[in-house]
């Protein structure tokens, strides 16, 4: 059973602005080098290495080495889920105001649509989740569950749902910009992967933002009845 000391030590891993910045950056699902994260966090490489060592030792990050390069990524989807939910609870009021046009453009793009580790988030993720719920593909009666109709829908799109491990088929992930749950779990990850592979969405900029393409607008309108204007 977890002791209060263990819980406090774990919570302390993210109780630092630099380590929190690293965790948020890694929500894009990629592996980053220590140098990339150092530049992102505005700290010296030695400082970044010290922080990354703590996050790896604490089980929040997984480490890979290729030659001279050290790569880190979030340990698994459970860590991503934890970070995203903490981000949502950390800003219960209005989001911080952008300081310039560049920050405003990036913030708007992230709010409109982004990836949360390996599933869709932002207004795009919420809109898709709502449409799937309205059509009986997802049930939110007691938590999140993919219905039989939902399984058939994924099958019609040839999106596989088989997965080994403890990850749930479907679960809600609290969206930090919309303050509503979007679809996560295996179904959310596979749907996001399909949307990117099929060209429904494309990544934009250096952040996690994604943009729905005209092809994606047509597909989502046909499959889920989502009006194109909502996604822009």
64 & 176 share domain: no
Residue 191 or 6, more confident: 191
106 & 193 share domain: yes
104 & 151 share domain: yes
User: What is the structure's pLDDT at 232?
Assistant: 79
53 & 102 share domain: no
User: What is the structure's pLDDT at 157?
Assistant: 96
User: What is the structure's pLDDT at 94?
Assistant: 47
| pTM (2 d.p.) | 0.76
User: What is the structure's pLDDT at 176?
Assistant: 79
Q: What is the DSSP string of the chain?
A: ---HHHHHHHHHTTSSHHHHHHHHHGGGS--EEHHHHHHHHT--HHHHHHHHHHHHHTTSEEEEEETTEEEEEESSHHHHHHHHHHHHHH--SPPPPPSSHHHHHHHHHHHHSEEETTEEEHHHHHHHHHHHHHTTSEE-TTS-EE-HHHHHHHHHTT------SS--S-EEEE-TTTSSEEEEHHHHHHHHHHHHHTTSEEE-SSSSBEEE-HHHHHHHHHHH---GGGG-
61 & 109 share domain: no
Distance, in Å, from the CA atom of 106 to the CA atom of 112, rounded to the nearest integer, reads: 10
Q: Per the domain annotation, does 156 fall within a domain? A: yes
Looking at the 3D structure of the chain, how many domains does it have?
Answer: 2
User: What is the structure's pLDDT at 164?
Assistant: 66
pLDDT tens figures, 183-210: 999 999 999 999 999 999 999 876 688 9
Distance, in Å, from the CA atom of 161 to the CA atom of 188, rounded to the nearest integer, reads: 10
45 & 104 share domain: no
pLDDT tens figures, 79-136: 988 888 888 777 654 455 556 666 566 678 888 899 988 899 999 999 999 999 999 9
Mean pLDDT across the chain: 88
Distance, in Å, from the CA atom of 80 to the CA atom of 58, rounded to the nearest integer, reads: 14
Last residue of a domain, one of 25, 43, 75: 75
Q: Per the domain annotation, does 82 fall within a domain? A: no
Mean pLDDT for the stretch of residues 134-151: 93
10 & 109 share domain: no
Residue 2 or 118, more confident: 118
Distance, in Å, from the CA atom of 200 to the CA atom of 217, rounded to the nearest integer, reads: 7
Q: Per the domain annotation, does 209 fall within a domain? A: yes
Domain that holds residue 182: 97-231
């Amino acid at each position: 059973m977890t002791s209060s000391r263990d819980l406090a030590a774990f919570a302390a891993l993210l109780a630092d602005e630099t380590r929190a910045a690293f965790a948020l950056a890694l929500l894009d699902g990629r592996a980053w080098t220590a140098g990339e994260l150092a530049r992102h966090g505005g700290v010296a490489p030695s400082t970044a290495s010290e922080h990354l060592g703590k996050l790896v030792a604490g089980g929040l990050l997984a480490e890979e080495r290729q030659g001279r390069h050290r790569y880190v990524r979030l340990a698994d989807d459970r860590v991503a889920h934890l970070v995203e939910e903490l981000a949502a609870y950390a800003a219960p009021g209005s989001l911080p105001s952008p300081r310039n046009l560049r920050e405003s453009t990036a913030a708007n793009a992230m709010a409109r649509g982004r990836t949360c580790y390996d599933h869709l988030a932002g207004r795009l993720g919420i809109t898709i989740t709502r449409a799937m719920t309205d059509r009986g593909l997802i049930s939110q009666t007691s938590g999140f569950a993919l219905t039989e109709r939902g399984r058939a829908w994924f099958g019609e799109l040839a999106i596989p749902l088989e997965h080994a491990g403890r990850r749930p088929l479907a679960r809600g992930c609290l969206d930090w910009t919309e303050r509503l749950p979007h679809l996560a779990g295996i179904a959310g990850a596979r749907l996001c992967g399909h949307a990117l592979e099929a060209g429904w969405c494309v990544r934009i900029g250096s952040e996690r933002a994604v943009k729905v393409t005209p092809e994606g607008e047509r597909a989502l309108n046909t499959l889920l009845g989502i009006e194109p204007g909502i996604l822009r």
